Structure 1
Amino acid sequence: MEQLKHECGVAMIRLLKPLDYYQKKYGTWMYGLNKLYLMMEKQHNRGQEGAGIACVKLNTLPGNEYMFREKALGANAITEIFGSAQKEFRNLSKEQLADAEYAKENLPFAGELYMGHLRYSTTGKSGLQYVHPFLRRNNWKAKNLCLCGNFNMTNIDEIFSKITSQGQCPRIFSDSYIMLEWMGHRLDREVERNFVDAKENGLQGTDITDYIDDHVRMSNVLRTTMPDFDGGYVVCGLTGSGEMFSMRDPWGIRPAFYYKNDEVVVVASERPVLQTTFDIECDQICELKPGEAVVVNKKGEFSLEKILDQRGDSACSFERIYFSRGSDRDIYRERKKLGDLLMKPILKAIDNDVEHTVFSFIPNTAEVAYYGMLGSFKRYINEQKIQAIESLGHMPTHEELEKILEQFVRSEKVAWKDIKLRTFITEGNSRNDLASHVYDVTYEVLEKGVDNLVVIDDSIVRGTTLRESIIKILDRLHPKKIVIVSSSPQIRYPDYYGIDMAKLEEFIAFRACIALLQDRGMQSLIDETYKNCIDELKKPKEEMQCCVKALYKPFTVEELNTKMVELLRPAEVTTPIELVYQSIEGLHTAIPDHKGDWYFTGNYPTPGGMKLVNQAFINYYDNVYQYEQKF
C-alpha cells in the first residue's frame, strides 16, 4: 500500500530516585537518557520527519540552566539529537563521566525528567519550528512549559479566536503552538493562584517560590484548557518546576500506555515499546483511559487524574491495522484474525479452486494478516481432506490417502519491496517510471495461465501504488486471475485525527463512487449532496451529520470494487483482476475493543470531524468536480 503518515509518537520518563542511585545500580547516571533513546528508536515507525527531546533538572540554583531541548529534522533525527545532547560528554574523563553529582551540577540533559517526540506532519507544515517539543520560557521555574504530543485538533480556528479575543497573540497558526500558548496562559494563572495563597500564608521571598513549585497542580491546568479542544490527542508536558503529565483525549482516539515501579514512571504511544525497553510483561503495563491523565509532581508523587468525562469509545482501528507495532500481543492476534475472516470471499473470487491458487502478501505490514489468511485456508483444506476420506466408505489404501493428503495451501513470497522513490526527482513522467519499480517480483512461482494469484495488503487507500507498480509486476507472472485482498474495509472518508487522509478525491473508493454516479446519470445526487453539506455547516456543530454517506448508498461493495478495478487497471494489463475487502462486521469481530471506524463508515466520533468531512466535500465539489465538468 501507499505509505501513510501518522501524526506522532511520544515517550516520557520520570526518574524517582537520585541520579547516583542509577549510577550505582546500572553503572550509569544516564539510565533515563538511555531509556529515552531506546523508547524513541522502538517507535521510529511513528515518525521520520523529525524528532526532539527535552529534559528538566530538579532543584537547581539560580544562574544554572534547568531545562534542555534538542530538535532535528530528517530520518536520522534521533541519532542527531542524542549526539547533540551528549556533545559535552566527549571531553570528560571516565571518572567525571561516572560521577553523578558532577553530571547533575555541570552537564546538560543530566536530569530527572525526560520527554521525547517523533514527528510525522499531517498538515503540510514542515521545518524545524514545527518539530516538537515546544518550549515556553519564563523566569519563574513553574511557568516554564515544554509540550509535545500525538495529536491533530479539528477546531483550532475556534481556539485561536478564543485566545486572541483575550488579548493573546500566537506567533504561528498551528495546533501545537496554540495549545502551548493556551496551556501556558492557564499555567500562569495556576502559578498566580499559588502566589496569592503563599502571600496569605505569610510567606516572603524565595519561600513563596518554593511554595509555588511544591503546590502547582497540572490537573488544574488541564481541566481549564482541554475541554475546549476537539480531536484525537495524547498531550505530554514538563514544567520547569518538575511537573510531568500525559493526557489522552476523551474519545480515546489516540493511544497511550504507562508503567510505574519504585524507580521510574514511563509513558509511550505503544505497549511493546515499554515491554522491550524495561523488560516487563504485557500485563504490567496500563493503558491510559479516555479523558485521563498521568501526573507526577515535583516530589515524584504519581497520580491518575480524571480530567474530562469519557465522551466516546472510539479508539482508532487503523492503529491496530497498520500503524502500531505488530509485536504487540493483542495487535498481532487482531491482524491474524483480519486475514482469517477473509477466507469465504476469497474462495468465491477464485471459484473455490484452492489447488490452482498461490497465496502471498504485499510487504511488509500485511504479513501478519497473511498468516491469518493462510491459517484459515489450511483449516479449509483439512476439512476437505476429512470429507474426502469419510466419503470413501472403506478403509483407504496407502495410495488413496497419499492422493488426498498431498493437497496443501500454496504460499510464496511473490512481491518484494525493492527501493524507495527518490524525492529529488520532480518531473512527473520520471517519478511515475521510478514508482513502477518500487516493488519487484519472484519469477516462475506459479503456472502461467493456470494458477490464480491472491495477494493480501493491509489497506487500499489511494490506489496509486497498485496502479503504478503492484498490478504491473504481478502481471509479469501471467496468472489466470489476480485477486487483491484488503484486510481492512473500503476507506471512503478522510481522517482528521492524525493521519494524512484529508481530501476525499484522494481515495480510490470515493473516485469509484463518483464515476459510478456519472456512469448511471446520477449527477443530481452529487449536486444534492453539495447543497446538503452547505446546509449542514449552518447548523450547530454538535448537530451535524455526515452528508457524504448518501453518495455511497446506491451501490454495493461489489459494484464499487468492480469500478475500482477499472480505474486501477494499467492499460497494458489484460489479466482478470478482482478486489476483495474486509467487511465492517469482520473489522469489528477482529478488533472488538477499537471501535473508531470513521475511515470506513463516516461515523466521526467528534463534532469537529463531522464538520470537516462536510467541508471536505464542498472543497472537492468547488475545486475538483466543477473543474472536471468543464473539460
Structure 2
Amino acid sequence: MCGILGIANRTSDVFAEIYDGLLMLQHRGQDASGIVTFTGEYFRERKANGLVKDVFGKNEAKDLAGKVGIGHVRYPTAGSLSAAEAQPFFVNAPYGIYLVHNGNITNTEAQRAKVTSKYSRHLRTTSDSEILLNVLADKVSDSIKVNGTTDPIRNLFAGVKMTMERIQGAYSVITIIAGVGLMAFRDPHGIRPLSVAKRSTENDGDEYAFASEDVAFGINGFEKLRDVRPGEAILIDLEGNMHSFQAAEGKLTPCIFEYVYLARPDSMLDGISVYKSQLRMGQTLASQIKAANLEIDSIIPVPDSARPVALEVANATGIRYREGLVKNRYVGRTFIMPGQEERQKSVRRKLNAIPLEFEGKNVLLIDDSIVRGNTIKKIVQMCRDAGANKVYVASASPPVKYPNVYGIDMPTKHELIAHDRSIEEIRTELGADALFYQHLDDLIWAAQEGNKDIEQFDCSCFDGNYLTGSVSPDYLATLESSNRVSQKIKEYPDAKTQRVAASG
C-alpha cells in the first residue's frame, strides 16, 4: 500500500500540485516520499525517508521545475527500509524512464534472475519496484528491436503488454518517459486502485492526472474521468493527447481491504464509495450485536477509520454513540509503522481515554480491523484503566488469517493474531469480554452493493484464496524465510512459539 500520483500539465510547473496531491495520499505511506519532474530536457529528482512535509521544503519549487511529474509516498512491503529504496526509480534506456509503483510483485526472484543474467542489468536495491521497472525497460527495448519502428507510443504499449505477460502480482504504475510523456498501467486483476482525471484550460488544451485515490484530484482542480481498467495502459503525450491500450485481458477483482482500512472514506474506488461501504459494514455488524443481547451502555469507535461503521451500528441498534477515545493527530497510523516495538509505543501517544465515558460502563469498541492485535489489546486495557465495567470489541472486517502478498504489510502468518486461533482464543488474548467479527459474505456484500458489476474481490488475507498463480505454498514458505520477514518473526517470539506448539 503506497500512494502514487502523476500530473501532465500544458503550461504550469507541477511540483506544487504533486506536493498537495501527495499530502492527500499521505495515509497510504509514511516511510518515504519522492517527486520527479521533467523539464522537457532533464529530469529533476528529490526523495528521502520521511513525510511529504519534511522531505520537501520551499527550495524544491525551483529545483523541481517541470510540467510533467510523478510522486510517491512509501509504505514498504518488500525490500529494506533504506532511503535508497524510496521511489521513484530510474533507468536511462530506452528513452529514460522514471517509475512509481503501488502493489507487490509475487514472482520477484524469477524476474530478478532474468534481469541480472539474461539482460545483464545491475539492480541497486532489493525492491520489487526496481525489478518491475527493469522488466518494463527490457520489454520496451525488445519491442523496438522487433517492431523496427521509431513510434515511441507503439513501442511503450507493446512493452507494457510483454511486461504483463512476465510479471505476476499486484501493480498500479505511473511512469515518466523522457521526450514522450506520462504513462500509467494497472495489473490485469486491478487489485490496487488507480484513477485518471482531466482538467481543461482555456487556451492550452487538456491536462491530466493519475492517482491511487481520487481525493488527490480535487485539491488541484482535476475532475475524475474513470478508473484505469485492469490490464489497461494509458499514455498522455507531451502535446496533451490521451492514448489508451488494452495490454492484457482483465477482470476487475479489487482488494477488499482498501474499503475496510486503506483508502480514505471520501474516496471512490472502482465505482464504490468507501464511506458508504463502511456504513453498510455497520449495518451487517449491528445484526450480530443485537443477536448477542448484551447490556451495552455506549458504542465507542477506535478513531478515525472506524467512525462510519460505529455510527451505523449505533443507528441500527439504538445504542448511544460516544467519542471516548481522543486521537493525537500528530502521530502516524500505527498499522503502517515499520516495527512492532514502535507500534506498541505509539498507541499511548496516539490515543487517550475520556474517563467520563468509561467509568462503571459497559462499552462496545468498534475497530475497522484487527490484524496484529497489539493496538486493540492496549486500547482494551486503556478502557479498563479508565474505569470500564465491561469492554466488548467488534471488528468491521473478518479475522485476518493469511498473509497478504499484494501490497499490504502482512507477509507472515506469525504476526496475525487470528492465524490458527479461534475467536474465543483471540478474545482471551485481547482481554475483551466479548468479541465480534464481520462475516466475510457480509463484507463482500457491503462493497459489492456499490458496484454490482464487480463479481469478485481479492479477499486473500481473509480466505487464503490468492488470485495470481505464483502464490504457491513454496512461495509463502520462501516469504516466511526472507530476511525482512525473519526480522518480523523476531518481533513476535510469543506468537511464533504458540503457533509451533499448536501445530505440534
CA shift digits 1:161-209 (9 cap, x unpaired): 2233424132334312222222222333444567x55xxxxxxxxxxxx
CA shift digits 1:309-339 (9 cap, x unpaired): 11x4420111111111111251110011111
Query: Is the contact made by 1:342 and 1:373 (CA closer than 8 Å) also made in structure 2?
Result: yes
The residue identity in structure 1 corresponding to 2:196 is Y
Query: Is the contact made by 1:490 and 1:509 (CA closer than 8 Å) also made in structure 2?
Result: yes
User: What is aligned with 2:73?
Assistant: 118
The residue identity in structure 2 corresponding to 1:461 is V
User: What is aligned with 1:452?
Assistant: 362
The residue identity in structure 1 corresponding to 2:352 is D
Q: For 1:231 and 1:298, locate their aligned partners in 2 and report how far apart those are by CA, in whole Å.
A: 30
User: What is aligned with 1:565?
Assistant: 427
Query: Is the contact made by 1:253 and 1:314 (CA closer than 8 Å) also made in structure 2?
Result: yes
Choose which of 59, 64, 67 in structure 1 pairs with 2:43.
67
Q: Measured at CA, do residues 627 and 129 of structure 1 come closer, stay the same or move farther in structure 2, by a change above 3 Å? A: same
CA shift digits 1:495-523 (9 cap, x unpaired): 001111011111111152xxxxxxxxxxx
Structure 2, gaps ≥5 residues long:
449-453, 491-495
User: What is aligned with 2:353?
Assistant: 441
Q: CA deviation at 1:420?
A: 4.7
SS at match of 1:176: helix
The residue identity in structure 1 corresponding to 2:376 is L
SS at match of 1:474: helix
User: What is aligned with 2:451?
Assistant: none
| 1:164 correspondence with 2:119 | no
Q: For 2:306 and 2:469, locate their aligned partners in 1 and report how far apart those are by CA, in whole Å.
A: 32
SS at match of 1:160: helix
SS at match of 1:609: coil
Query: Is the contact made by 2:16 and 2:61 (CA closer than 8 Å) also made in structure 1?
Result: no
Query: Is the contact made by 2:280 and 2:309 (CA closer than 8 Å) also made in structure 1?
Result: yes
Q: Measured at CA, do residues 214 and 432 of structure 1 come closer, stay the same or move farther in structure 2, by a change above 3 Å? A: closer
| 1:410 correspondence with 2:326 | no
Q: For 2:375 and 2:178, locate their aligned partners in 1 and report how far apart those are by CA, in whole Å.
A: 47
Q: Which structure has the greater CA radius of gyration? A: 1
Q: For 2:373 and 2:263, locate their aligned partners in 1 and report how far apart those are by CA, in whole Å.
A: 22
Q: Measured at CA, do residues 304 and 583 of structure 1 come closer, stay the same or move farther in structure 2, by a change above 3 Å? A: same
User: What is aligned with 2:260?
Assistant: 321
The residue identity in structure 1 corresponding to 2:258 is E
Q: For 1:508 and 1:321, locate their aligned partners in 2 and report how far apart those are by CA, in whole Å.
A: 18
Q: Measured at CA, do residues 263 and 87 of structure 1 come closer, stay the same or move farther in structure 2, by a change above 3 Å? A: same
Q: CA deviation at 1:435?
A: 4.9
Query: Is the contact made by 2:144 and 2:155 (CA closer than 8 Å) also made in structure 1?
Result: no
User: What is aligned with 2:129?
Assistant: 176
Q: For 1:87 and 1:158, locate their aligned partners in 2 and report how far apart those are by CA, in whole Å.
A: 41
Q: Measured at CA, do residues 584 and 435 of structure 1 come closer, stay the same or move farther in structure 2, by a change above 3 Å? A: closer
CA shift digits 1:324-377 (9 cap, x unpaired): 1111251110011111211121123343x4xx5211111111111112212212
Choose which of 184, 197, 217 in structure 2 pairs with 1:274.
217
Query: Is the contact made by 2:168 and 2:470 (CA closer than 8 Å) also made in structure 1?
Result: yes
| 1:599 correspondence with 2:461 | yes
User: What is aligned with 2:393?
Assistant: 484
User: What is aligned with 2:309?
Assistant: 369
TM-score (norm 2): 0.85
5 Å-filtered alignment, 1:530-545, equals: none
User: What is aligned with 1:345?
Assistant: 288
Choose which of 568, 574, 579 in structure 1 pairs with 2:435.
579
Q: Measured at CA, do residues 81 and 190 of structure 1 come closer, stay the same or move farther in structure 2, by a change above 3 Å? A: farther
User: What is aligned with 1:51?
Assistant: 33
Query: Is the contact made by 2:353 and 2:382 (CA closer than 8 Å) also made in structure 1?
Result: yes
Query: Is the contact made by 2:141 and 2:159 (CA closer than 8 Å) also made in structure 1?
Result: no
Q: Measured at CA, do residues 175 and 84 of structure 1 come closer, stay the same or move farther in structure 2, by a change above 3 Å? A: farther
Q: For 1:414 and 1:125, locate their aligned partners in 2 and report how far apart those are by CA, in whole Å.
A: 38
Query: Is the contact made by 1:42 and 1:273 (CA closer than 8 Å) also made in structure 2?
Result: yes
SS at match of 2:281: helix
User: What is aligned with 1:200?
Assistant: none
Query: Is the contact made by 1:271 and 1:285 (CA closer than 8 Å) also made in structure 2?
Result: no
Q: CA deviation at 1:80?
A: 3.1
5 Å-filtered alignment, 1:297-312, equals: 297-310=237-250, 312=251
Choose which of 58, 62, 65 in structure 2 pairs with 1:109.
65
5 Å-filtered alignment, 1:185-584, equals: 185-192=138-145, 197=149, 212=150, 217-260=155-198, 261=200, 262-278=205-221, 280=223, 284-310=224-250, 312-328=251-267, 330-351=273-294, 353=295, 356-378=296-318, 409-418=319-328, 420=331, 435=347, 438-445=350-357, 448=360, 451-467=361-377, 469-512=378-421, 560-569=422-431, 577-584=433-440
SS at match of 1:225: helix
Q: Measured at CA, do residues 223 and 215 of structure 1 come closer, stay the same or move farther in structure 2, by a change above 3 Å? A: closer
Structure 1, gaps ≥5 residues long:
1-5, 20-28, 59-64, 89-107, 198-211, 379-408, 513-559, 570-575
Q: For 2:345 and 2:97, locate their aligned partners in 1 and report how far apart those are by CA, in whole Å.
A: 48
Q: Measured at CA, do residues 113 and 412 of structure 1 come closer, stay the same or move farther in structure 2, by a change above 3 Å? A: same
CA shift digits 1:535-558 (9 cap, x unpaired): xxxxxxxxxxxxxxxxxxxxxxxx
Choose which of 55, 60, 77 in structure 2 pairs with 1:80.
55
Q: Which has the higher helix share?
A: 1
Q: For 1:421 and 1:133, locate their aligned partners in 2 and report how far apart those are by CA, in whole Å.
A: 23
Q: CA deviation at 1:87?
A: 4.5
Q: CA deviation at 1:84?
A: 4.3
SS at match of 2:462: helix
Question: Which shows bigger deviation, 342-351 or 46-55?
Answer: 342-351
Q: For 1:234 and 1:489, locate their aligned partners in 2 and report how far apart those are by CA, in whole Å.
A: 26
Q: CA deviation at 1:486?
A: 0.2
Q: For 2:345 and 2:215, locate their aligned partners in 1 and report how far apart those are by CA, in whole Å.
A: 38
User: What is aligned with 1:104?
Assistant: none
Q: CA deviation at 1:146?
A: 1.0
Query: Is the contact made by 1:248 and 1:288 (CA closer than 8 Å) also made in structure 2?
Result: yes
Q: For 2:165 and 2:423, locate their aligned partners in 1 and report how far apart those are by CA, in whole Å.
A: 41
Q: CA deviation at 1:591?
A: 0.6
Q: Measured at CA, do residues 350 and 277 of structure 1 come closer, stay the same or move farther in structure 2, by a change above 3 Å? A: farther
Q: For 1:616 and 1:163, locate their aligned partners in 2 and report how far apart those are by CA, in whole Å.
A: 20
Q: CA deviation at 1:277?
A: 2.6
Query: Is the contact made by 1:113 and 1:242 (CA closer than 8 Å) also made in structure 2?
Result: no
Q: CA deviation at 1:582?
A: 0.4
Task: Give the length in aligned residue pairs.
Answer: 473
| 1:12 correspondence with 2:6 | yes
| 1:129 correspondence with 2:84 | yes
SS at match of 2:419: helix
SS at match of 1:267: strand
SS at match of 2:282: helix
Query: Is the contact made by 2:372 and 2:415 (CA closer than 8 Å) also made in structure 1?
Result: yes
Q: Measured at CA, do residues 590 and 268 of structure 1 come closer, stay the same or move farther in structure 2, by a change above 3 Å? A: same
Q: Measured at CA, do residues 249 and 460 of structure 1 come closer, stay the same or move farther in structure 2, by a change above 3 Å? A: same
Q: For 1:257 and 1:264, locate their aligned partners in 2 and report how far apart those are by CA, in whole Å.
A: 14
Q: CA deviation at 1:567?
A: 2.0
Q: For 2:340 and 2:21, locate their aligned partners in 1 and report how far apart those are by CA, in whole Å.
A: 39
Q: Measured at CA, do residues 132 and 84 of structure 1 come closer, stay the same or move farther in structure 2, by a change above 3 Å? A: farther
